[in-house]
A and B are shown apart, each in its own frame.
Chain A
Amino acid sequence: MTDVDAFDPTESRSAPASLFDRVSFPPEVWCESFSSPAIVRNHWRPLLSAMDAMGADLLGKRQARVRRMRHEDGATYNLFDDPSERRTSWALDMVPLPITALEWAELEAGLIQRARLLEQILADVHGPQNLIRDGLLPAEVVFANPNFLRPCHGIQPAGNRYLTYYAADLYRGADGRFRVLRDHGENPAGLGYALENRIVISRVFSDLYHHTQIRRLAPFFQAFHHSLIERASLRQEDPGIVLLSSGPQSSVYFEHALLSRYLGYPLVESQDLTVRNGNVFLKKLAGLEPVAAIFRHLPDSGSDPFALRRQTETGVAGLIQAAREQRIDLVNPIGSGFAGTPVMPVFLPALCLKLMGENLALENHPAWWCGDEDGRHHVLGNMGQLTVAPAMDRSMPIQAADLPGQIRAMPHAFMAREPVRVSVSPGWDPAGAGVRHTILRIFVCATEQGFAVMPGGLAISAPDVDALLGDFPERQQSKDIWVLSDQPVAPFSLMDGLETATIVRRGSDLPSRVADHLLWLGRYLERAEGLIRLVRSVYVRLSGEARLQDMPELSFLLNLLREQNAIPRVSDNASPIPYFRDLWSQLHEVLYRKDTPESVIGLLNRVQAAARNVRDRLSLDCWRTLNRLEDFADISAGDPLDHLEDTLFTLSAFSGLAMESMTRGLGWRFMDMGRRIERAMNQTGLVRIGLHGACAASKSGLEALLEVADSIMTYRARYRTTFQPAPALDLMLMDEDNPKSLAFQLSRLSDHVEHLPRRTDRQFASPEERLVLEMLTSTRLLDLTGLTCGENGITSESLTPFLESMERNLKAFAQHISAHFLSRVPTTPHFSMIPQSKTD
């Protein structure tokens, strides 16, 4: 690659006192932005002068905004479990990395050539294996390579495309030339982060972005989508494409969800898919839905427990069989991890010449294979200057002791590289401008014509080269890559791209796993709200001037907390109200104690966990609101009462957004069902416990009961009288206009149940239908006459049995829903017996 900048006479001194001038760039490596101290390379000038014009203060604020946006979009993970470990993969550094049009053209051509070459190699290795027969590829590289999967040999992938998605990591050496450091077959990570970076940066620097001619990313995603459709000759209106993720525990799960939403491919996990008759299906509530193509974000070895590693639980059993029968298009085909074999680049120059009759356009980082006599000789003679690495299996540990001995014992397993001298570029951190070592991860996808390269990508950066070369996204940062264009860029907004690529109409049906998580999300949300309301009522009373003993309703409220196991129970003869200091610490535990699901933080934790599992079903706004919940973990933030109010507000905002933004499909129904089940249970429990304490001494207990049941406003508006048990109970249990009443929850549940999919013709009512009808009827027929309110609380002949049977039925109802729609069956492997024959 030629350097266009080094001799460019038009370069000029940038304005003095530039923010980035003061950064000292190490002289022994290439600097992306400056050709010599204070001499800015041409293609960096608009960017750096725009940043200089903003000034350090504003830039600091912009970087903070970048961090916040990234966080609110959900790119942070592990956030709630341990707030001190708030981690993020590839944190975004706001200073982009511009690349000139000329340099890009060379990179693009080079990567297309490389992808074509790797695809030919994959086709040969999984087919005739002429390359090893003709001695073009050492046989060890296939036979001793764990990336070569024998069960995948002989499988012809859809459209005869062996590599449909590929990424290469490149760096620019001290001489200014780009070199390939490594190749990624199987499931390259980072595409979603590159997309997110562009979305954030184009908003934070919208002026600069729109005044600079930068190539857009959207056409790449369109090309990706269209060739997928074309290849599998799928019907456009119902493509049956899914994005297969390894699940929320993945450090890059964020990008699975983002890509799923952006491309419109439902986000699924292994257990959502099943293979029947050699075809792949998505398990949905109403039954199985055929899947024609899978954008696979699982490694090769974890893709099919049946054919590959039998110990792993991840993967879809039978997926390889479906591929063998050509019933599924996998992006990438299983086995493509072979292309990412660490030592492969060593052989590419000769293979390129032989297979394609061309020179390999993009150089490799200098490396030697020890399986080759010359290579081994060079490595053993230069051990001090080289880095020894596994040649085949990236995960193979390298023991430091007696490396030459290990190499001689098993030469084919080792390779060695020259130290990498990665170029530097300016970056920004809280301390101001700084220096970052930067490599480029560039993405390629198959198209009908061959391959297309995404004009942009993920620039991965780190303060030191070691952190940069490891595979730890959470220790690295990233930047947006700006591919500059000579020509005006078509006004192709990312969002336009989104709409065009998303021609998918999602049916209302959804995977059982998703429905399950949504149901629990609804339940935990409601449970958290209920607990917060209750604790808030207690705090409100504590912060008043009255003595604890003078508030009879306090012991009633504390009993409610005890009933929920939130605070310790007291023995019968002890005072129901503990000492102030004890009470204060008990309440603190109710809020912040992490090792119990009964605390507020424990519940919020579960809310977040459930939400993470369905994040592709939640709108961005919903997601952002949920991410605010983690502020609760910050104990230092002052008064608990304020804290509770804020959190309740956030939860309400989420509920409102969910109501407004979720389509009234099954997903919404399950989430709402969860909420209704929980609220009905909570309401029933409140009344049952309240019966005893509410009338004692004064009517303040009744008032407190209405308060925690969130019905006090309605009561006041409707009755404007003192608190009386009969109207209060009527409002909480039977009033179908009160959205907090039991009857209201039941009538909603009844409506939901009626709309659930059923697998058989409707002849008899399902158990859940019968139960909800029974509960609703008994509530409507409840007789509240003859209520008395005395020292022993409210007494009524019919009420107690009614409440007890209601609690039982609600529990049974929830179980029926789970058993009917959401049950997940465990999978177990089985093997035949160990052969055991011996003749005597």
Chain B
Amino acid sequence: MKYRIIHKTAYRYSEPASLSQNEVFLEPRQTPAQRVAQSRLSFAPEPQYLHRRTDYFGNIAHVFMVQHPHSELAVTATSVVETIPAARLCPSATLPWETVAQRLAVHAQPEALAAFQFTFASPLITIHPSAMDYARPCFPAGKPVLEGAMDLMQRIFTEFVYDKEATTVDSSVEQVLADRKGVCQDFAHLAISCLRTLGLAARYVSGYLETTPPPGKPRLVGADASHAWASLFVPDVGWVDLDPTNNLIPGEKHITIAWGRDYGDVTPVKGVVMGGGAHDLTVIVDVAPQK
């Protein structure tokens, strides 16, 4: 599939801000499952400073600064991305999860070493016994790793309530586990935490998802949102994405922007302003299929 994605983030400040520094992860990265045909950032007002780099995880980061007084700030990313249908997976043929954990611990192969860094706690994802207890039933001895992970995804999907009001950017995995509700970011964090407690390598993926309108209704422009899911390292197969919010293995309709250990590594837009008083944030995302 080919998509044109528009992602606009706008701030309005109650008082003029004298300096605004921002780091954004908005340019989708090239992956085996997607080709980025075009990606462009535009700003209002125009920043005095703009810097693009590839970060530690291979994502594209932009840093920009607006250095004169301004009371509004908007950054818009427009990308055209072509996604490729996912290869057929055979979960029952994947290695037993204990073998995977063992391979990671030894990390003899370069891929295993690269994946190894996603087995540890990270700033927003703790490794807590409660996550281990939650994950355990999905992973009986000898369970093929992907089957186990899909069971886990299914359980999160059925046992947790999607609730926008329940959590904040800083909600911890323990809190989500206790409350049994959250948003896609929380479910991704929870799934990752569960997998890591077993010694498996799991990373956080930030991206978009094409939403399908109800039958008979036209597609609403701008009603989409950014999305997040988890990804599991499966030896001999590679990284396999898992979307616990929707209980599915992402395919053509998922567009990846960036990945890292958790939300903190790939926050789409974050910044620091001097002054500005209270701020008001609007985010508009539009994922439009192209012919």
Contact = CB atoms under 8 A, between A and B. Distances in A.
A277 B117 contact: no
Contacts of A828: 272-273, 276, 279
A145 to B, nearest CB: 9
A506 interface: no
B288 interface: no
Nearest to B279: A830
Contacts of B279: 828, 830
Nearest to A306: B272
B232 interface: no
Contacts of B43: none
A277 B212 CA distance: 43
B112 to A, nearest CB: 10
A619 to B, nearest CB: 34
B273 A831 contact: no
A307 B63 CA distance: 10
B253 to A, nearest CB: 8
Interface in A632-648: none
Contacts of A27: none
Interface string A802-833: 00000000000000000000000111111111
Interface in A288-334: 305-307, 310, 317-318, 321, 324-325
Given A321-B63, A830-B11, A837-B245, A150 B265 contact: yes
A765 interface: no
B127 A835 contact: no
Contacts, number: 132
Interface in B90-113: 107, 110, 113
Dominant secondary structure at the A interface: loop
Contacts of A151: 55-56
Q: Which of A144, A307, A410, A836 has the largest number of chain B CB atoms within 10 A?
A: A836
A765 B211 CA distance: 62
Of the four ranges (under 10, 10 to 19, 20 to 34, 35 or more), the interface on chain A belongs to 35 or more
A832 B276 contact: no
Given A305-B272, A837-B245, A154 B67 contact: no
Interface in B194-235: 206, 208-209, 211-212, 224-228
Interface residues of B, number: 59
Interface in B176-194: 183-185
A825 B276 CA distance: 9
A35 to B, nearest CB: 50
A825 B275 contact: yes
A410 B120 CA distance: 10
B116 A139 contact: yes
Given A318-B21, A832-B9, A276 B246 contact: no
B224 A837 contact: yes
A835 B212 CA distance: 18
Nearest to A833: B283
B67 to A, nearest CB: 5
A825 B269 contact: no
Given A276-B67, A830-B272, A837-B224, A150 B56 contact: yes
Given A277-B65, A833-B281, A827 B274 contact: yes
A143 B116 contact: yes
B270 A834 contact: no
A139 B283 contact: no
A727 interface: no
A277 B245 contact: no
A837 B273 contact: no
A150 B55 CA distance: 8
Interface in A96-148: 132-133, 139-140, 142-144
B291 interface: no
A277 B206 contact: no
A139 B117 contact: yes
B49 A276 contact: yes
Contact of A277 (B67, B169, B270): B67
B21 A275 contact: yes
B23 interface: yes
Interface stretch (B32-40, B134-142, B145-153, B160-168): B160-168
B127 A830 contact: no
B127 A834 contact: no
Given A139-B116, A151-B56, A831 B21 contact: no
B211 A839 contact: yes
A838 interface: yes
Interface in B65-106: 65, 67
Contacts of B224: 837
A278 interface: yes
Contacts of B245: 837-838
Contacts of B246: 838-839
B271 interface: yes
A835 B185 contact: yes
Best-buried of A133, A318, A831 by chain B (most CB within 10 Å): A831
B162 to A, nearest CB: 5
Given A150-B56, A277-B48, A306-B272, A837 B65 contact: no
A835 B228 contact: yes
A197 interface: no
A505 to B, nearest CB: 29
Given A143-B117, A278-B49, A306-B23, A837 B268 contact: no
Most buried by A among B11, B120, B169, B185: B120
B21 A834 contact: no
A696 to B, nearest CB: 52
A144 B56 contact: no
Given A830-B281, A831-B169, A835-B185, A139 B270 contact: no
Interface string B50-68: 0101011100000101010
Contacts of B240: none
Contacts of B273: 827-830
Given A830-B272, A832-B9, A835-B228, A825 B18 contact: yes
A725 to B, nearest CB: 50
Given A274-B19, A830-B273, A835 B67 contact: no
A310 B23 CA distance: 12
Contact of A829 (B67, B107, B228, B271): B271
B49 A837 contact: no
Contacts of B49: 276-278
B258 to A, nearest CB: 12
A417 interface: no
A393 to B, nearest CB: 10
Nearest to A829: B272
B283 to A, nearest CB: 5
Contact of A133 (B63, B113, B127): B113
A530 B63 CA distance: 53
B281 A154 contact: no
A325 B167 CA distance: 37
B127 A410 contact: yes
Contact of B184 (A278, A831, A835): A835
A475 interface: no
Interface string A259-282: 000000000000000111110000
A688 interface: no
B267 interface: yes
A836 B225 CA distance: 6
A825 B274 CA distance: 6
Contact of A838 (B55, B120, B162, B206): B162
Contacts of B107: 139
10 contacts: A133-B113, A139-B113, A153-B56, A307-B23, A317-B21, A318-B272, A829-B272, A832-B269, A837-B208, A839-B212
Given A139-B116, A277-B65, A835-B268, 7 more contacts: A154-B56, A306-B21, A318-B272, A831-B267, A834-B185, A835-B184, A835-B185
Interface of B: 9, 11, 18-19, 21, 23, 48-49, 51, 53, 55-57, 63, 65, 67, 107, 110, 113, 116-117, 119-121, 127, 162, 164, 167-169, 183-185, 206, 208-209, 211-212, 224-228, 245-246, 265, 267-276, 279, 281, 283
Which 5 A-B residue pairs are closest in the complex by CB-CB distance?
A832-B269, A837-B227, A143-B117, A835-B226, A144-B120
